[in-house]
Structure 1
């Protein structure tokens, strides 16, 4: 593995949120960030791949693009796949699996394409091929151009390794971080979540404010690649989280189990001292002392928890409480049903396009500072 190499790195994210992730990549100092369909491309070498996995909050995974070539039929795919310098990236003693997709190409059978590439790797490098392998090679054949990438993340990056306890219909940490960024949150203001569930928004906000890297507690697939530099990785991993902000992040829920869950998750994430979780109803919600900030909430919605008609009173009570007590605060509300959002009577700006959260199309509704 040449740490001086320079190639394209693809940060996968939720379709519709590519510009938000692009802004994050830019803020974190990655080179040439560009929003494209399904993610963001940046340029760099292996140290940037490690850093993207460690530091980027809004990505689902990080792909290292290691080669591209034209292939008009399977025999040509086989021949050109064998020319790739697999030994520069993969280890002969570590199993791999290959996944292929074909679009608008003369090679149209993805399974056959994956099989040819897997055979090339096995015969040229000697690496075993296994459907259960942690290292995944991805080949995308689009308009007869085959782009070969290595999935350097392994498990999806929303798995921070802090949240053991989850409630029904949890929000993915990566999506929560992008919604926080869309609401203009940068770690410099308090955050309140009055339906905190397992604490995702509150914990993400506290981690951002404390400068903690999202990938600090987990392992990654790139640790099993050829030439991985353990010492350099440990030095990089040791950065971040040097300061504790003079801010608190607040969650509450009418479910006592959710509150206990959130506290345990905050403890595991190392932000228990920055967070406060309380058990009470929406009607008892009051702003914390100090300057206004952001209220962000992912309430139940019909196709997620149950029947939406029964939720109108809950959304109405939320809107009433926020309008009465949270003057100067901004609000971000995530729901799959625009009519539920309207029930709050909050002065929402025109919403952005819906995104998929666990197969459900959800929309972030935002306000400016409340009157």
Structure 2
């Protein structure tokens, strides 16, 4: 695996969060980071692929484009797939899974295309094909151009590897990190989540402040690629976190089980020293002593008819508490329902873009520092 080879790297974004992902990639020095449909494209050598998986908080996956060619029928695809330099990327003893999609192309049968590629890989490289392989090769046929990519992440990147306990309807870590960024959070101020669930916002905020890499506790699919250098990788993943923070990160929830889960998760993530979790209802929250910061919350949205009235009063009391006690704090509320956001009576700025949260369309509603 030549470390210096210039690869096209594609960072898969949550729909609606492409802008903060690009900002993060630019800030972390990924060359040529630009928004394209579905995410952010940048380029660099294999070490940049590893670094993207290890350090980016907002990417769901890191794909590497292996190459492309035109093909208008299956026989042509077959021939070119057999000439493709698979051994530059894959290893003959590691099983792979092939996935194919086709749009606006004369090769319209994605299943048949997939079978040709599987056969080409087994017959020219010798690698076994398996539907549950950890390594995925992706074929995209669009307007008669066939593009091969490899998924270098394996498990989606929101699975940080150090969070066993999950509350119901959790906010994904990748989304939480991007919403924190959209609220202007840079790690230097306290954060409070008054409906913290399993602690995602609080733990992400603490990790950002401590300079911890999100992927530090897990394995990645690129470790099974051709020429992977385990020594160079070990050097890169050696975490250099900064202790001695000034800020503390707070979460509370009226559900004692959620508070317990959040504390366990913070401990596993190595941020327990800088996080505090309390079992209390929204009406009992108070700003911690010290500087003002950010209140960020992902309240229930209520999918069923009849929920709305009860939720309206919950959002209303949240807004009242924040307005009366949290002068100087900024607020971020993530919800699927604009009228619920308005029920807080907070001085909301223009809503953020629509974000796809597992089929639910949500948005971030922010305020400037409260009066």
**TM-score, with length taken from structure 1:** 0.98
Query: Is 1:368 aligned with 2:365?
Result: no
Task: Provide structure 1 residue ranges, at least 5 long, that are not aligned to the other structure.
Answer: none
Paired with 1:44 and 1:28, the residues of 2 have a C-alpha distance of 13
What are the Cα deviations for residues 343-367 of structure 1, in whole angstroms up to 9, with x where unaligned? Answer: 0001111112211112211111111
What are the Cα deviations for residues 125-172 of structure 1, in whole angstroms up to 9, with x where unaligned? Answer: 000011111110001111111111000000000000111111110010
Paired with 1:93 and 1:189, the residues of 2 have a C-alpha distance of 49
Cα distance change, pair 305–135 in 1 and its aligned pair in 2 (3 A):
farther
Paired with 1:188 and 1:305, the residues of 2 have a C-alpha distance of 41
Cα distance change, pair 31–124 in 1 and its aligned pair in 2 (3 A):
same
- Give the drift of 1:215: 0.2
- Number of residue pairs aligned between Structure 1 and Structure 2: 371
Aligned to 2:71: 71
Task: Provide structure 2 residue ranges, at least 5 long, that are not aligned to the other structure.
Answer: none
Say which SS state the counterpart of residue 214 (structure 2) adopts: coil
Paired with 1:240 and 1:35, the residues of 2 have a C-alpha distance of 30
Aligned to 1:276: 276
Aligned to 2:200: 200
What value does the CA root-mean-square deviation take over the aligned residues?
1.2
Paired with 2:305 and 2:261, the residues of 1 have a C-alpha distance of 19
Aligned to 1:52: 52
Mapping for residues 147-158 of structure 1, pairs under 5 Å: 147-158=147-158
Say which SS state the counterpart of residue 98 (structure 1) adopts: strand
Mapping for residues 25-36 of structure 1, pairs under 5 Å: 25-36=25-36
What are the Cα deviations for residues 42-91 of structure 1, in whole angstroms up to 9, with x where unaligned? Answer: 10111001000000000101001111111111111111112221111100
Aligned to 1:295: 295
- Give the drift of 1:304: 8.2
Query: Is 1:346 aligned with 2:346?
Result: yes
- Give the drift of 1:305: 11
Paired with 1:114 and 1:236, the residues of 2 have a C-alpha distance of 35
What are the Cα deviations for residues 229-248 of structure 1, in whole angstroms up to 9, with x where unaligned? Answer: 00000000004313342110
Paired with 1:156 and 1:303, the residues of 2 have a C-alpha distance of 26
Aligned to 2:113: 113
Is the contact between residue 82 and residue 124 of structure 2 (CA under 8 Å) also seen in structure 1?
yes
Aligned to 2:165: 165
Paired with 1:337 and 1:119, the residues of 2 have a C-alpha distance of 49
Is the contact between residue 253 and residue 279 of structure 2 (CA under 8 Å) also seen in structure 1?
yes
Is the contact between residue 188 and residue 246 of structure 2 (CA under 8 Å) also seen in structure 1?
no
Cα distance change, pair 183–84 in 1 and its aligned pair in 2 (3 A):
same
